[in-house]
Amino acid sequence: MPDSTKLEKNRKSVRHQTFIMLLIAVLMFGFGYALVPLYNVLCDAFGINGKTGGQTAQSVVSSVDKHRTITVQFVSMNNAKLPWKFYPYRKSVDIHPGENTRVAYFAKNESGKTMVVQAIPSVAPSEAAKYLKKTECFCFERQTLADGETMDMPLLFHIDRDIPEDVKEITLSYTLFDVTGTKKSAPPEQRGKISK
């Protein structure tokens, strides 16, 4: 039969364990949030979610690999029925690795009001993402257009010579998101990075 001292001891240990378990619950709640930077770091390290590299690549002067030709296709999309016209002037280009290439997208705001948009890139196959180096891109900045205004949006890039042999075709897609009225935060390409 438990005497009163034993009961008291038991209650103390229950209280102690309850506290530890509440702490575990709070820590696991934090762990859920820790998954966010962890995910970004891992995706970045392995280049696996189709996001193109964050840093603006230096325009290369190194030699062009004339033995290989890679087809780069351009795709454009509007998120959530954004009332903009948005398309690439050329649907695809055939280029050699190391060759600097300039293309442009056309954009027109048909919404009836001034809008701010952000283009988000995605590359397929995703393992090609880190070999697609952009020197200049309209996706680096938010773009603002008044109603009816049009713009040619430039993209200057090259493909790294180290790209795996089996990649013959790369699709680069841009999705235009409405960011009017949202706070300007770090450009998406810089998000989740620990350095800088």
Partner 1 sequence: MSEQNTAAIGTEEDHHHHGPDNGKGLMGYVKRWVFTTNHKDIGTLYLWTSCIMFFIAGTMALLIRTELFQPGERLLDPDFFNQMTTLHGLIMVFGVVMPAFVGLANWQIPLMIGAPDMALPRLNNWSFWILPFAFILLISTLFLPGPAPNFGWTFYAPLSTSYGPPSTDYMIFAIHLLGISSILGAINVIATILNMRAPGMGLMQMPVFIWSWLITAFLLLSIMPVLAGAVTMMLTDRHFGTSFFEAAGGGDPVLFQHVFWFFGHPEVYVLILPAFGVMSEVIPTFSRKPLFGYSFMVWAIISIALLSFIVWAHHMFTVGMPVAAQLFFMYTTMLIAVPTGIKVFNWVSTMYKGALTFETPMLFAVAFVFLFTIGGFSGLMLAITPADYQYQDTYFVVAHFHYVLVPGSIFALITGVYYWLPKWTGRMYSEALGKWHFWLSAISLNITFFPMHFLGLAGMPRRIPDYALQFTDFNVIATLGAFVFGFSQLIFLVNIIWTIRKGKPATGQVWEGAHGLEWQLPSPAPYHSWEKPPNILPHHPRENEPSY
- Positions touching partner 1 (CB under 8 A) are 1-2, 4, 7, 10-11, 13-14, 17-18, 21-22, 24-33, 35-36, 39-40, 43, 46, 48-50, 79-80, 118, 120, 126-127, 175, 177-179, 182-183, 185-189, 191-192
| Of 44 and 99, CB closest to partner 1 | 44
Spatial CB neighbours of 91, under 8 Å, sequence gap ≥ 6: 73, 74
Q: At its nearest, how many Å lie between partner 1 and the CB of residue 7?
A: 6
Q: At its nearest, how many Å lie between partner 1 and the CB of residue 56?
A: 17
Q: At its nearest, how many Å lie between partner 1 and the CB of residue 140?
A: 13
| Of 56 and 100, CB closest to partner 1 | 56
| Of 24 and 146, CB closest to partner 1 | 24
Spatial CB neighbours of 185, under 8 Å, sequence gap ≥ 6: 191
Q: Which two tokens stand for residue 42?
A: 């891992």
| Of 17 and 114, CB closest to partner 1 | 17
Q: At its nearest, how many Å lie between partner 1 and the CB of residue 167?
A: 15
Spatial distance between the Cα atoms of 127 and 43, rounded to a whole number of angstroms: 11
Q: Distances in Å between the alpha carbon of 78 and those of 24, 60, 108, 148?
A: 43, 32, 12, 17
| Of 81 and 91, CB closest to partner 1 | 81
Sign (positive/negative) of CA torsion 163, 102, 121, 57?
A: positive
Spatial CB neighbours of 63, under 8 Å, sequence gap ≥ 6: 98
